Chains A and B, each alone.
Chain A
Amino acid sequence: MENLLEIRNLTVELMTTRGIVYALSGVDLAVRPGEIHGVVGESGCGKSMTAKSILRLHNPQRSRMKGSIRFEGRELLGLPDREIEKLRGSAVSMIFQDPMTSLNPLMTIGDQIADMYRFHARAGKKEALEKAQEMLEKVGIAPAAKRFRQYPFELSGGMQQRVMIAMAIACAPKLLIADEPTTALDVTIQAQILELLQQLSADMGMSILLITHNFGIVAETCQRVSVMYAGKVVETGETRDLLRRASHPYSRALIRSIPGCEERGTRLETIPGSPPALFEPPESCMFAPRCPFAEERCRKAYPTLFDCGGGHLAACFKPLGKEESTRV
């Protein structure tokens, strides 16, 4: 199957006052048409940076990008900024954790959606207003005619996120990048938003790159998942398969530290140490200092991807076998 989005060996170096930060060091990621693809990992591992790189939303002056980002077969990395701007909000759009940072507090939500649509679809005013109303209905904001005239602060967090989604899908994008879209919401509202995203993906044939730190969300909403650690994708595969037999020691440890499966009051599994500071380019397995299975070669070279079968890949010299992998 042709991939909708294909990221190959993407590196992003950021120039900071404390030196170069190797934020991404060779990310490989492929999103298929119509799928919801999860990206999980602990904070700072590069999830948001990967997402922002696609639409060039990070500060490009102070960073250096290498590798390849192909969208519908077209290489994005060398394109002029205005080409990327054309893509943004039309074929690829993005929503964030905190909707208020992206909504204009002084404009009604109806006008905001309409304005955005006029800009990207070059539509007339009347058409745009109709579109805005249609979109509000589509994301479950009812009654749309009344809500249309409300300001963002009059809405709950869940409703604000629905408005963001309405705006993001107005131009029927092929890819929606959702960076922790439910992290700030309560679980009952989170369930509503995830349901909405799944329904939209199915109805519109839209792919979603769903960034989260919650494995439970991945298990329930994503067909495939990529696990990131220290600026790299360390494991990728079908969600069910990866959860059943996580092959990379990091993915396995992460899954095991989730409370809920062990007996109450027993000690939870932890990962010793903390993720590395990213001030040096990686030349060995970045997980080696914390990995219980590390051996000499892990500290000498970066492990290449090991094919566990069925599109399940793990960047590890000694991927875990089925029997010693996750519970479930």
Chain B
Amino acid sequence: MSDIVVQAENLTKQFPVASKRLGEKPRVLHAVDGVSLSIPKGGIFGVVGESGCGKSTLGRCLLRMETITGGSVSFQGRDITNLSGRSLKSLRRDMQMIFQNPYASFDPKQKIGSAFREAARVHEMPREKAEVRIRDLLREVNLPEDALNRIPSEMSGGQLQRLAIARALLLDPSFIVADEPVSALDVSVQAQILNLMMDLRNKFSLTMLFISHEMSVVRHLCDQVAVMYLGMVVEQAETEELFSRLLHPYTQALMSAIPTLDPDHKSRRIVLQGDIPSPIDLPAGCPFADRCSRCAPQCREARPALRDRGGGHLVACHLV
């Protein structure tokens, strides 16, 4: 299909782990373990899951900011799994990333304007063109031009995050990975940023991978959602479909753990015992087995495959 912008097939990323003892066999950390996805032009693909489940690593692999251990990534129909050097650099203008903490994405001593101009210069954008583009973008994210003369500490978190978004758009990228872009913001500011992202998507058909640990945010913004646990996708579907039928026991527990304004919600809560296990030395069976209330003997023997339960709703569980 031609309108697929980003595609991953069985994508795997492992990090080596320092051995504890001499002569011990080397161990690996499975950060991303066999993830497949495809995002059409203008689509916002949500990735949710708890800390350490591999969301950011997945995003970085799609942008080829990491080397790939296994599987493949393609961008606009071209295989980019093994790109390096100059061809990788030219890819950078087409793919951008937005981070959680806007203060960390700007140099605290540099004026906002020169940060923008520097980004334009790195990618050899002509100067006049850059000036026009920067001013257009400021209007787009609803900030006065005067912002260019300020340093980051003179902006609020929400304003700076809007500037980070504007800077990411500078080179007119076709794909953006937004890694928890609203997690550090207050809800009223978060609402502004989410509105902005919806506007930009509608206007420029931006294609996005939107990483979050907040179900409600992903539900509001994304067309498709993947739920990750220990590097694996355990459930994936179109947003409406997923939230109308949560099938995987982990997704159900995750959803029920979120505090809501509904006073009766809590009585339906599934409280998971224990911590998220380590992604090193994964068990043979289902990664969720240790915390799953429905765990059966077969769950410990074989890893459940991600299978379609109708309408493209994928679930990895032996009992669903």
Contacts and interface: CB of A to CB of B under 8 A. Distances in A.
Contacts of B192: 270
B198 A258 contact: no
B198 A254 contact: no
A259 B217 contact: yes
B219 interface: yes
A190 B271 contact: no
Interface string B207-222: 0000001001101110
Nearest to A268: B191
Interface string B273-292: 10110000000000000000
A153 to B, nearest CB: 15
A265 B261 contact: no
A155 to B, nearest CB: 9
Interface stretch (B17-25, B169-177, B262-270, B305-313): B262-270
Main secondary structure of the interface of B (DSSP, over half): helix
B140 interface: no
B277 to A, nearest CB: 10
B186 A191 contact: no
A186 B271 contact: no
A219 B261 CA distance: 5
A242 to B, nearest CB: 11
Interface string B164-188: 0000000000000000000000111
B51 A186 contact: yes
Q: How large is the interface on B (under 10, 10 to 19, 20 to 34, 35 or more residues)?
A: 35 or more
A232 B216 CA distance: 29
B186 A43 contact: yes
Contacts of B198: 265, 267
A257 B192 CA distance: 9
B216 A259 contact: yes
B87 interface: no
B295 to A, nearest CB: 16
A188 B257 contact: yes
Interface string A166-208: 0000000000000000000011111110110000000000000
Contacts of A49: none
Contacts of B254: 187-188
A158 B191 contact: no
A243 B254 CA distance: 24
Contacts of A106: none
A71 to B, nearest CB: 29
B158 interface: yes
B50 A186 contact: yes
A220 B260 CA distance: 7
B261 A268 contact: no
Given A192-B271, A267-B195, A258 B257 contact: no
A270 B157 CA distance: 15
B263 to A, nearest CB: 6
A187 B258 contact: yes
B260 A213 contact: no
A217 B187 contact: no
Contacts of A79: none
A253 interface: yes
A271 interface: yes
A215 to B, nearest CB: 6
B180 to A, nearest CB: 13
B191 A269 contact: yes
Given A216-B261, A264-B239, A258 B216 contact: yes
A228 to B, nearest CB: 12
A153 B198 CA distance: 41
A213 B186 contact: yes
A278 interface: no
B110 interface: no
Contact of B275 (A159, A255, A257): A159
The winner among A192, A215, A259, A264 for most chain B CB atoms within 10 A is A259
Interface in B191-242: 191-192, 194-195, 198, 213, 216-217, 219-221, 239-240
A78 interface: no
A240 B265 CA distance: 13
Given A259-B194, A264-B240, A270-B195, A195 B271 contact: yes
Interface string A282-325: 00000000000000000000000000000000000000000000
B216 A260 contact: yes
B156 interface: yes
Contacts of A189: 275
A194 B269 CA distance: 12
A216 B156 contact: no
Contacts of B188: 42, 253-254, 257, 270-271
B220 A217 contact: no
Interface in A104-163: 156, 158-159
A265 B46 CA distance: 13
A259 B259 contact: no
B195 A214 contact: no
Given A188-B50, A189-B275, A260-B219, A220 B265 contact: yes
Nearest to A262: B220
B156 A268 contact: no
A28 B214 CA distance: 33
B259 A220 contact: yes
A-B complex: 10 closest residue pairs judged by Cβ atoms? A216-B259, A268-B191, A260-B216, A186-B50, A42-B186, A257-B191, A259-B220, A191-B257, A187-B257, A257-B188
Given A215-B261, A265-B221, 16 more contacts: A42-B187, A158-B275, A187-B257, A188-B271, A191-B272, A217-B259, A219-B259, A219-B262, A220-B263, A243-B261, A259-B191, A259-B219, A261-B261, A264-B219, A268-B191, A274-B159
24 contacts: A43-B186, A188-B50, A188-B253, A190-B257, A191-B259, A191-B271, A192-B272, A213-B187, A220-B263, A221-B259, A243-B263, A254-B187, A255-B261, A260-B219, A260-B220, A260-B260, A262-B220, A264-B240, A265-B198, A268-B194, A268-B195, A270-B195, A274-B159, A274-B189
